[in-house]
Each structure stands twice: as structure tokens, then as C-alpha cells.
Amino acid sequence: MKFKSPTTAKQIASDYNCELIGDEHTLVLGLNEIHNVEEGDITFVDHEKYYKSTLQSNASVILINQRMSAPEGKTLLYCEQPYEVYDNLAKQHRPTLLSAEQIASDALIGDGTFIAPSAFIGKSVTIGKNCVIHPAAVIYPYTEIGDNVIIHANTTIGADAFYYKRTVDGYKKMHNAGNVVIKNNVEIGAGCTIDAGVSSETTIGEGTKIDDQVHIGHDVKIGANCIIAGQVGIAGNTVIGNYVTLYGKVAVNKNITISDNVVVYACASVAKSLEAGKTYLGTPAEEARVAAKQFALIKKLPDMWELFKKLNH
């Protein structure tokens, strides 16, 4: 998530009582988790296990709970609770927006777009031209929708990410500073749920078509012209390429990549990244030719077992 106006490491250190290590003039353009961090961003780390990967990331400024020398090109902000500072920064720069209006007065809606009377459009939403938003659809704040998009009844776009930090007192919810971006010519079926990114965008690429009752988790990036059938579930921070087909009830793990032109058959469970241009099936999903051989052998196991017992008598 990018800030409306840049700030400096020095200013953040002053606002949140952090000890600054490095260049106090480092510009901070936005914030992001380690998965999506870019140059100019601030991120956080509060566990030794992740120090190395965070210090080697693209982040320009890092909130950290251990004093150390700043690597070249990095500015560190030492504090006891980096997560708390990061979360408060997110609240400061992307506050929660609540609206009692059916269509928020600051929503920008393009020419030719139809919004059904019972649909809800939150604050700071942008909807392009010639879209159709069907009854009882809910569009949360900060969502960006392109032209010629169809969103069917009872679909929810931009709900909070299912993202919590475990503490000694239970689970603490991370403030959502991300949103959902839907490109041109997308159609989303009835009863779908697409969560906002935690600190970046959940993106649906141009021309992608999504069936009914699909769930897409936080920070997922879906490419162009994909087909996603009913009851598919995609966990957070996964990247899906262009022209990918996911048949019904496919379950997709978090933090993986499904490359371009992949086909995954119904009811498969995708546990790891998939190579481009291949077809997959099964649980866990394997390349179709491999999985088919495995299934054929499994069917023969009872006969093979009986033969084995005879040979050993």
C-alpha cells in the first residue's frame, strides 16, 4: 500500500518512539508485508527466524526488535513491538471507512454502469464504465473496478483478510491496508467472496471469468483470461498466471504460483507451485499423466496383495 504523500524514516521514528539506525532521510513511500515489499516500503520483522530474509528484502526501512547495524541501503527502526508500530502505521495511512449510505457519496462510478437498488458501494470505491452490479452485492471501501465488469448477486468484494497474529492473549487481527483491484471485462458469479489484501492488492486480471461460490483469499494475484469454476478456494498470497483453468472444488494452497496455461481438474488439491502449460489432477495435485498411472496402480493393489499372500504360503 502506497502512502498519499511520502514520509521519512526520521518522522516515523519520532512518531512511534523508535531508535533510528541508518539514514534518517530515507523516504518511505508505503508499507507492505515481506511477501510483497518493494523499494521505498517499510516492513517489519519480530522473529529471529525471519531476520535474514527481511534484511535482504527490497524494503527500504525495517521495523525490528533487535539492535544491529543497518545493511547497506537499509534504514532500521528499533522498537520492542515492530508489529504494533507497523499495524498503527497501516491504520494511520489507510483508515477503516464506514458508510451508512447505500452508495457512498465519494464513490466514483462510470457512465453506463447499473447498480441494483439493494447493492452496497462503500467509500473510496471506483467503478468503471458499463458495469453491472447485481442485487445484494457488497463492494467494500477502496475497491477498484474496471470497465465492462459484471458482479452477480450476493457477492462480496473487499472483505477483511483472514489474517491474525498469534499472541499470548490470543489472536490479534492485522489492520487491512490493502484492497481489491478488478480489471476490465471480468465477470464474477453469485455468492463469491474476494478478500482485500493485507497491505497490497488482491487482483483479478482482465477478462477472467469466475463461477458462483468461489473464495479468493488476501493478496492473491490472478492473471488475464482465467476460468475459475464453482466452489474453488484460493488461499492467501498465491499468484495465478494467464489462461489458467481451475475446475470445480479445486483447493489451492497459500504462497504458491500456478503458471500460465495450467489446467487443474475438479476436486484437486494444489499444495505446491505448478509448471506452465501442464494439466494436473488428484490430491495432492500431480501432472495428469503421472496421476493417472498412480490411480491405475492403486486399483490393482487388492489383487496384488492377494497374490503376495499366496506367494508367501
- Grid cell, residue 294, equals 498412480
Residues with a catalytic annotation lie at: 218
* Strands (DSSP E) found in 46-196: 61-64, 75-78, 108-109, 114-115, 120-121, 126-127, 132-133, 138-139, 144-145, 150-151, 156-159, 164-167, 170-173, 179-182, 187-188, 193-195
Cα(53)–Cα(189) distance, rounded to whole angstroms?
A: 39
Cα(223)–Cα(228) distance, rounded to whole angstroms?
A: 11
Q: What is the DSSP letter of 175?
A: P
Question: 3-state class of 169 per DSSP?
Answer: coil
Give the CA-trace dihedral at 300, 301, 304, 309, to 10 degrees.
-150
Q: Is omega for the bond preceding 135 within 30 degrees of 0, making it cis?
A: no
Strand-pair partners of 201: 179
